[in-house]
């Protein structure tokens, strides 16, 4: 990873390269630096190129997205660093109580999986109503263990959305099974369409991974019914949905498995981590063994009693969580509902502001009685407005935006084979934008976003080709 100092050196090299074009001699080192101008991958969504007339104002960042062999930015460009956003997309932070819990976890001497992890699992069972909760190193790990628990493997086909993070699909491929992409409901409802899912089950798919997009329940109840009719396994990817409820049940407890995330930008973010939810104690027990090399006795078990030996019941992995982070997640869990109320208030302000402007429409709200965690807020621009122009205009005001997600069925890894026709997913990917949303957002930050949106769309309309 490139450090901040190295980023400044690279920026200076670019400025030097620009000056040589006006007549100054270029040294061998300068020529080398000019050839090694930073390149910014288009998928690094926290970077937006802004054109400026003065190349000496160029700065580049964040550094971990630099020097990738993909598309190059214009010579005269500035890329905002993460610290320069007036309103960042998200603002991960730990409160004093969470920091103290993390520190206490380290001071306890249990730096890996131990009693605090077990306590967090019990708290998650109580909060979600799940019969079983297994803490793991990431949501990806939870999804992988769910696939293994469901017996998914070579020769199987698993229905997945294209509008999701790569992990949802990668875990299927890692088992040797084939991901089958299905269409979303509509351009304002970017979650799996049960009709499209059932069509794939009729063609022989044996499992479905649904995604609670942005924390929205989507059509999960109908997916449960469809999977039951076909004897298919439903796995819920609820990375976005800590605190999301559908008809009185927490998302992740309606299917056979659910997978929560503790990644930085999520509602229970602590850096990395995840939780597997299940109603099956046998499968949960197998997942517990699999997360630690298939060993029948955990480190805590061996600490509490002098075992003469233990068994490796089956090949396993290292998907363990650790006690310091478990303690911090426990502290965050106590504030989850209040944080989600703050998120809902901000999302409501966005909806109210966009209600009178037909140029941008929020994704659909959940039905009355359901609760959305509002992990993120997405909207779609009207057909004919260039979404990227809107993003650039917002960036000029210091407002960071993002894209969720590039359609996976068009990605290099998954576009092989017969072409998939998913026009709704592709249209959503082309027109959608993710606006800043985090519980600690200040009123002045929210006001800046709301004030900037109409002008950004005005600018995008003016730039529209005739």
Catalytic residues: 266
Q: β-strand 360-362 against 233-237: which pairing, if any?
A: unpaired
Assess contact for 231 and 238: CB atoms under 8 A. no
Q: How many CA atoms are closer than 13 Å to the CA of 25, on its beta-carbon side?
A: 2
Cα 210 from Cα 164, distance rounded (Å): 10
Q: Angle, nearest 10°, between helix axes 115-128 and 323-333?
A: 30
Q: Report CA-CA distances (Å) from 411 to 216, 416, 446.
A: 25, 9, 34
Taking alpha carbons only, the member of 355, 345, 397, 399 closest to residue 379 is 355
Q: How many CA atoms are closer than 13 Å to the CA of 102, on its beta-carbon side?
A: 13
Q: Which two tokens stand for residue 109?
A: 């001497």
Owner of token pair 């993070």: 165
Instruction: Give Cα 335 distance to the centre of its chain.
Output: 21
Q: Which two tokens stand for residue 380?
A: 């779609």
Beta strand ranges found along 279-327 (DSSP E):
none
397 CB neighbour count, 10 Å cutoff: 15
Taking alpha carbons only, the member of 16, 23, 71 closest to residue 8 is 16
């Amino acid at each position: 990873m490139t450090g901040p100092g190295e980023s400044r050196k690279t920026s200076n090299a670019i400025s030097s390269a620009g000056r040589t074009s006006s007549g100054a001699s270029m040294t061998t080192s300068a020529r080398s630096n000019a050839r090694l101008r930073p390149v910014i991958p288009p998928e690094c969504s926290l970077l937006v190129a802004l054109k400026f007339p003065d190349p000496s104002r160029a700065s580049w960042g964040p550094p971990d997205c630099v020097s990738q062999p993909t598309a190059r930015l214009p010579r005269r460009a500035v890329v905002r660093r993460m610290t320069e956003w007036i309103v960042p997309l998200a603002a991960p932070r730990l409160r004093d109580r969470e920091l103290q819990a993390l520190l206490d976890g380290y001071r306890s001497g249990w730096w890996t999986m131990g009693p605090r992890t077990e306590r967090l699992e019990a708290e998650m069972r109580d909060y979600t109503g799940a019969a079983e909760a297994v803490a793991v190193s990431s949501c990806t790990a939870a999804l992988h263990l769910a696939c293994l628990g469901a017996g998914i493997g070579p020769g199987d086909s698993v229905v997945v959305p294209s509008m999701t993070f790569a992990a949802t699909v990668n875990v299927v491929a890692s088992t040797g099974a084939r991901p089958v992409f299905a269409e979303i409901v509509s351009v304002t409802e970017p979650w799996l369409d049960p009709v499209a899912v059932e069509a794939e089950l009729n063609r022989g798919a044996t499992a479905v991974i649904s995604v609670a997009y942005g924390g929205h329940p989507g059509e999960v109840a109908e997916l449960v019914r469809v999977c039951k009719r076909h004897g298919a396994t439903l796995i819920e990817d609820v990375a976005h949905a800590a605190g999301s409820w559908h008809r009185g049940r927490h998302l992740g407890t309606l299917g056979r498995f659910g997978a929560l995330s503790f990644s930085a930008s999520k509602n229970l973010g602590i850096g990395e981590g995840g939780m597997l939810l299940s109603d099956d104690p046998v499968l949960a027990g197998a997942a517990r063994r699999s997360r630690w090399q298939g060993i029948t006795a955990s480190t805590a078990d061996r600490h509490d009693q002098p075992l003469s030996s233990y068994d490796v019941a089956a090949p396993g992995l290292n998907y363990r969580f650790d006690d310091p982070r478990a303690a911090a997640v426990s502290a965050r869990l106590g504030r989850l509902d209040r944080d989600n109320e703050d998120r809902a208030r901000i999302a409501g302000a966005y909806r109210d502001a966009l209600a009178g402007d037909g140029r941008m429409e929020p994704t659909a709200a959940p039905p009355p009685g359901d609760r959305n965690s509002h992990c993120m807020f997405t909207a779609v621009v009207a057909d004919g407005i260039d979404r990227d122009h809107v993003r650039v205009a917002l960036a000029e005001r210091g407002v960071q935006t993002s894209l969720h997600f590039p359609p996976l069925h068009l990605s290099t890894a998954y576009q092989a084979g017969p072409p998939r026709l998913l026009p709704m997913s592709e249209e959503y990917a082309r027109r959608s934008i993710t606006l800043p949303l985090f519980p600690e957002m200040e009123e002045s930050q929210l006001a800046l976003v709301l004030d900037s949106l109409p002008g950004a769309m005005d600018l995008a309309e003016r730039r529209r080709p005739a």
